[in-house]
Amino acid sequence: MKMTFRWYGSDSDNITLSQIKQIPGMTGLMGVLDYKAAGEVWTEEEIKAYMDEVHAAGLECEVIESVNVHEDIKMGLPTRDQYIANYCTTIRNLAKYGVKVIVYNFMPVFDWLRTDLARVIPEDGSNSLYFDEKELGEMTPVDLVRNTIDNCNGFTLPGWEPERLAELETTLERYKTITPDDLRANYKYFLDGIIPTCEECGVVMACHPDDPAWPIFGLPRIAHSQEDYDKIIALRDSPCNTVCLCTGSLGSNPDNDIPAIIRHFGEMNRIGAMHVRNVKYLGYHKFREAAHLSSTGDLDMYAIMKAIHDTCPNTYIRPDHGRMIWNESGRPGYGLYDRALGATYLNGLWEAICKSSD
């Protein structure tokens, strides 16, 4: 297992590489060039600049996240071929700088959705990301976007770039005629276009789940259960077509048995990366993000780490989101302190599991 941390780059992250390096057991990053719009080529110069900084800090970067798939690919528009060609160029460029895994998603329009980015946790006064479908029911998609952008403390969040959302109404209208099967057909077209390049370069694609793990605003969503992922894996049978198993995203739906899903895809060798975090259920389609410790939420983190240990022990892990604690302010979900505590806790579980199974 390689413990990693998300870092947005020195221009857009308030957390420094030296802080990340000082977290015990931290081997590297799941990196991102957050200024790149979906569909754009990530150039060698841009990748090199990021990698040089990371390597100078004594960290690795074998996983890159949020190489976002252009909406025209998801909608199956004629312009998709150019965007797929661009995606292949980005894969080749990333491979030249040592990238082995690309985390992405195939969610229509929205990346993750929350109704509150800083909901106070009454038990301890910290705050975290929160979702209540009842609150969402009173919001239009445009309200939700405005609410999210306005509450990011001045930071951008992947999938919520204002430019990408400028044509929101038109895009939402277009999706009304796209069924989940249509979206899967477009997904297959995308995989057929990029997987040969991945195989040639030794890069694994890892699909992040829908978050929350159910349909929203009537949009087709096809990646929020074991059955969904079985279908995605079947779209293109290749070791390069894998899952980024995010425990908090899939775990937002209590019907998903996370350790069982890890074992299922781990045994198939189809887990490219893991995001590990905990959630606390507050009612039907209502939850908040919890500290990583099992007893503060509803996921069994020991069972999760044990499933990783037993079926995909060499995977990359990051403590996904964290709460905001100790008066820290920053990009919602991406503060330093709680994610560092999370990494340390997960490393502790890992050490105990390894030593007790010798």
Q: Which of residues 244-273 bind Mn ion (CB under 5 A)?
A: 246
Cα distance from N-terminal residue to C-terminal residue, the chain: 16
> For residues 289 and 320, which CB has a smaller minimum distance to Mn ion in the complex?
320
> For residues 72 and 320, which CB has a smaller minimum distance to Mn ion in the complex?
320
In angstroms, give the least distance from the CB of 268 to Mn ion.
Answer: 20
Give just the sign of the alpha carbon dihedral 298, 209, 311, 350.
Answer: negative
- Three-class SS string for 262-327? HHHHHHCCCEEEEEECEEEEEECCEEEEECCCHHHCCCCHHHHHHHHHHHCCCCEEEECCCCECCC
Burial code of 136-169, b = ≥16 C-beta within 10 A, e = fewer?
beeeebeebbeebeeeeeeeebbbbbeebbeebe
What would the x/- binding string for Mn ion be over residues 320 to 339, using CB under 5 A? x-------------------
Active-site option among 70, 208, 264, 292: 208
Whether 116 sits among the annotated catalytic residues: the reply is no
DSSP H stretches of helix in the chain:
17-21, 44-56, 71-75, 80-96, 133-137, 141-150, 168-175, 180-201, 226-235, 247-250, 258-267, 301-311, 337-356
Stretch in the footprint of Mn ion (CB under 5 A) among 127-135, 169-177, 294-302, 315-323 = 315-323
Q: 312 - beta bridge partners?
A: none
Whether 244 sits among the annotated catalytic residues: the reply is no
> For residues 274 and 340, which CB has a smaller minimum distance to Mn ion in the complex?
274
In angstroms, give the least distance from the CB of 321 to Mn ion.
Answer: 7
Active-site option among 198, 240, 246, 312: 246
Reduce the DSSP state of residue 60 to 3 states and report it. Answer: strand
Q: Looking at 263, 275, 292, 318, which residue binds Mn ion (CB under 5 A)? A: 275
Structure tokens at 216: 């929203």
Could you give the CA distance from residue 272 to residue 269 in angstroms, rounded to a whole number? 8
Reduce the DSSP state of residue 33 to 3 states and report it. Answer: coil
In angstroms, give the least distance from the CB of 277 to Mn ion.
Answer: 7
Active-site option among 116, 211, 320, 338: 320
Active-site option among 50, 334, 337, 345: 334
Whether 264 sits among the annotated catalytic residues: the reply is no
Stretch in the footprint of Mn ion (CB under 5 A) among 118-126, 216-224, 314-322, 330-338 = 314-322
> For residues 116 and 211, which CB has a smaller minimum distance to Mn ion in the complex?
211
# residues near Mn ion by CB under 5 A: 3
Angle at the Cα of 320 (from 271 to 159), degrees rounded to 5?
Answer: 90
Give the nearest residue (CB) to Mn ion.
246
In angstroms, give the least distance from the CB of 314 to Mn ion.
Answer: 20
Reduce the DSSP state of residue 190 to 3 states and report it. Answer: helix
C-alpha distances (whole Å) from 32 to each of 189, 303, 321 are 25, 29, 15
Active-site option among 321, 337, 338, 345: 321
Whether 246 sits among the annotated catalytic residues: the reply is yes
> For residues 62 and 320, which CB has a smaller minimum distance to Mn ion in the complex?
320
Reduce the DSSP state of residue 255 to 3 states and report it. Answer: coil
Whether 321 sits among the annotated catalytic residues: the reply is yes
In angstroms, give the least distance from the CB of 250 to Mn ion.
Answer: 9
221 binds Mn ion (CB under 5 A): no
Whether 334 sits among the annotated catalytic residues: the reply is yes
DSSP 45: H
Residues that bind Mn ion (CB under 5 A): 246, 275, 320
| Residues with a known catalytic role | 208, 246, 275, 320-321, 334
